[in-house]
Amino acid sequence: MNRNHEAFQLWEKGEFNEAVQLLIEEINNDPANSDCYYNLANMFILGKKYEDAKAILDTAIEKFPEDPIFIYAFGNLYYEIEDYSTALSYFNQVIKFNETRLKKDAMVMIGQNYLALNQTKKALVYFLSAYEEDKLDIALILLIGNTLMQLGSFKEAKSFFELGIEQAPQNDEAWFKCGVVGMALKEEVDSLKKYFDKAKELDPKKYEERTKQLQAIEVIMKDQKE
């Protein structure tokens, strides 16, 4: 079995120390195995051991200076510790590489950083650029829809949620959000029912959670108006 895969199996079982030790042993046995450095850094980030992650990435970026995956990983590290300006500097380096499969992911993360900085319009620009790289990514389609909702562009948001339904008919969030933006657009109640009914059918638990969130938002908005 691939030792990277074996390490992640240990991680999923909650055996964090064993997973880390396995990757360290593999790095010692095969220092040219860049995947092990990347996976080890990610495990440290997921485990919130940020100094350990930085130490691994510092070593990796010296050994593999032409591999953008470690620059990308540094971006993730700084995003996790909420140092968004530093994270942006790393993700912007990634998208400058001529040939990298990480370009779309880096643009999404640039957008996420701008969202965290409350610069929603800038975030949308990068999400849309990422969409041009991959128009089948359902998570990205929904992210664009949600960002357009934040900006109050409900008609445009609905077009992306409808696209989400088209691409992934079993995605309950796409159905629910279509109903929500329809409410904002003051569409007929009967036309909205199909969206909410389908969302409830697909995932009743999530439907209840989203309905409660929506009701809470409506109360806040009502209080603000009063």
Q: Contact, 127 vs 108, CB < 8 A?
A: yes
Q: Kindly report the CATH number that applies to the domain delimited by 135-226.
A: 1.25.40.10
Q: How many CA atoms lie within 13 A of 37 on its CB side?
A: 24
What's 81's DSSP letter? T
Helices (H) and strands (E) in the chain, counts: 13, 0
Q: Spell out, as residue ranges, where the chain has pLDDT lower than 70.
A: 1, 217-226
Classify 206 in phi/psi space as left (phi over 0), alpha (psi -120 to 50) or beta.
Answer: alpha
User: Given this model, what pLDDT does residue 219 score?
Assistant: 61
Cα–Cα distance for residue pair 24/26, rounded to 1 Å: 5
Contact at 8 Å (CB) between 70 and 90?
no
**Domain regions of the chain by residue span:** 135-226
For residue 116, what pLDDT is reported? 97
Q: What's this model's pTM, rounded to 2 decimal places? A: 0.90
pLDDT of residue 121: 98
